[in-house]
């Protein structure tokens, strides 16, 4: 009997090896479900799906960058820029130009970031921080400091202007699944497969593990770095489009702080800032935990004065548990 128990425990540990972040997420949800009856309701689950979308999408690209040992601090500025540009293009040319044009700009900014980091060998922290300032300035010039909102385009002839664009942020499909969450899932699946099942994905891990070894192995390190920053720019732009569609407006401070929220989600998911390991699925769980904390504290009626304190402690404990588990593995 004792041996059976030991075997069962060992099998469980083996099965859950490196997956403690999932257990932590489950513990959070179970505790909150008992703490407040509102937490496990269908409406709140939909709310959580919606609320994790922006950070989740932004964190996908950030995961790639961090695995290579870099960091992208221009994500917040890019989200803002994408939000403002997408609504501006929507008002001028319609939805598809808005989406494609904005994503193209995200790719461009990502390429510039990657090119400077890889070719000029400037620290990612400095490069992307400077790029963040540049993007913010371009945006202020572009918008003249004025917010843009989707319903500006409503006229008597076109009273439903923007409805299609707003569906990206607020629509539902398949009997209630929020469209932005579906976008997050699709992006996560695509980027997850790219990272875990392709040669490029292996290059990303190799560059993060040791650049010199990667180079000696024949990997084109600069091009790999450029591509991960392009992915990060693309996901930041996508997050900005979804964000603008969710709130129906864009103003010049809307993305402030999202770069750190994205980094936090990646870190909670167990990706070390030194790079070399990490995965998309764990980043999604990290974004989920980040969102569930805020959602749960609100539902519990915790004062906003205490919320950051509670959030900080919970994140630290979660990361410590996860990190210890990974080291043990």
Q: Which residues bind other proteins (CB under 8 A)?
A: 24, 27-28, 31-32, 35-36, 38, 41, 43-44, 47, 50-51, 54, 140, 143, 145-151, 154, 166, 169-170, 243, 246-249, 251-254, 256-257, 294-307, 310, 313-314, 317-318, 320-321, 324-325, 328
Nearer to other proteins, 121 or 151 (CB): 151
Contact, 162 vs 150, CB < 8 A? yes
Q: What distance in Å separates the CA atoms of residue 133 and residue 56, rounded to the nearest whole number?
A: 23
> At its nearest, how many Å lie between other proteins and the CB of residue 164?
14
Nearer to other proteins, 107 or 247 (CB): 247
Nearer to other proteins, 47 or 210 (CB): 47
> At its nearest, how many Å lie between other proteins and the CB of residue 313?
5
Q: What distance in Å separates the CA atoms of residue 60 and residue 189, rounded to the nearest whole number?
A: 10
Helix (H) or strand (E) holding 149: strand 148-149
Nearer to other proteins, 198 or 253 (CB): 253
> At its nearest, how many Å lie between other proteins and the CB of residue 169?
8
- 117-134 per-residue burial string, b: 16 or more CB within 10 A, e: under 16: bbeeeeebeebbbebbee
> At its nearest, how many Å lie between other proteins and the CB of residue 96?
22
User: Smallest Cα–Cα separation from 192: which of 120, 283, 112, 260?
Assistant: 283
Nearer to other proteins, 49 or 231 (CB): 49
> At its nearest, how many Å lie between other proteins and the CB of residue 165?
12
User: Smallest Cα–Cα separation from 20: which of 195, 265, 262, 268?
Assistant: 268
Nearer to other proteins, 67 or 263 (CB): 263
Nearer to other proteins, 35 or 173 (CB): 35
User: Smallest Cα–Cα separation from 196: which of 78, 98, 277?
Assistant: 277
Q: What is the DSSP letter of 303?
A: -
Structure tokens at 179: 């469209």
Q: What distance in Å separates the CA atoms of residue 326 and residue 269, rounded to the nearest whole number?
A: 11
Nearer to other proteins, 11 or 213 (CB): 11
Q: What distance in Å separates the CA atoms of residue 242 and residue 167, rounded to the nearest whole number?
A: 9
Nearer to other proteins, 106 or 169 (CB): 169
User: Smallest Cα–Cα separation from 64: which of 218, 186, 202?
Assistant: 202
Contact, 58 vs 236, CB < 8 A? yes
Contact, 101 vs 85, CB < 8 A? yes
> At its nearest, how many Å lie between other proteins and the CB of residue 197?
31
Q: What is the DSSP letter of 177?
A: E
> At its nearest, how many Å lie between other proteins and the CB of residue 13?
10
> At its nearest, how many Å lie between other proteins and the CB of residue 51?
4
Structure tokens at 291: 């969102």
> At its nearest, how many Å lie between other proteins and the CB of residue 183?
15
Contact, 214 vs 203, CB < 8 A? yes
């Amino acid at each position: 009997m004792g041996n059976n128990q030991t075997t069962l425990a060992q099998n469980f540990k083996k099965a859950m090896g490196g997956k403690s972040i999932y257990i932590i997420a489950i513990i959070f949800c179970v505790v909150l479900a008992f703490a407040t009856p509102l937490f496990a309701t269908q409406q709140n689950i939909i709310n959580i799906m919606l609320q994790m979308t922006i950070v989740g999408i932004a964190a996908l690209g950030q995961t790639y960058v961090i695995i290579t040992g870099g960091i992208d601090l221009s994500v917040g500025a890019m989200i803002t820029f994408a939000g403002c540009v997408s609504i501006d293009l929507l008002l001028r040319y319609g939805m598809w130009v808005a989406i494609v044009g904005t994503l193209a700009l995200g790719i461009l900014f990502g390429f510039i970031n990657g090119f400077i980091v890889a070719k000029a060998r400037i620290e990612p922290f400095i490069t992307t921080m400077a790029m963040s300032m540049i993007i913010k300035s371009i945006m202020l010039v572009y918008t003249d400091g004025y917010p843009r909102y989707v319903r500006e385009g409503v006229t008597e002839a076109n009273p439903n202007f923007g409805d299609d664009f707003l569906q990206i942020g607020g629509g539902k499909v398949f009997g209630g699944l929020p469209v932005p969450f579906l976008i997050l899932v699709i992006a996560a699946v695509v980027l997850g497969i790219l990272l875990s099942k392709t040669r490029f994905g292996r290059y990303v891990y190799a560059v993060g593990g040791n650049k010199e070894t990667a180079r000696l192995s024949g990997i084109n390190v600069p091009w790999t770095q450029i591509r991960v920053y392009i992915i990060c720019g693309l996901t930041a732009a996508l997050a900005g489009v979804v964000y603008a569609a969710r709130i129906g407006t864009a103003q010049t401070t809307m993305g402030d702080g999202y770069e750190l929220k994205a980094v936090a989600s990646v870190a909670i998911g167990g990706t070390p800032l030194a790079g070399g390991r990490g995965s998309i699925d764990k980043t999604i769980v990290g974004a989920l935990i980040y969102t569930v904390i805020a959602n749960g504290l609100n539902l519990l009626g915790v004062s906003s004065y205490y919320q950051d304190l509670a959030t900080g402690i919970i994140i630290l404990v979660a990361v410590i548990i996860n990190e210890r588990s990974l080291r043990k593995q």
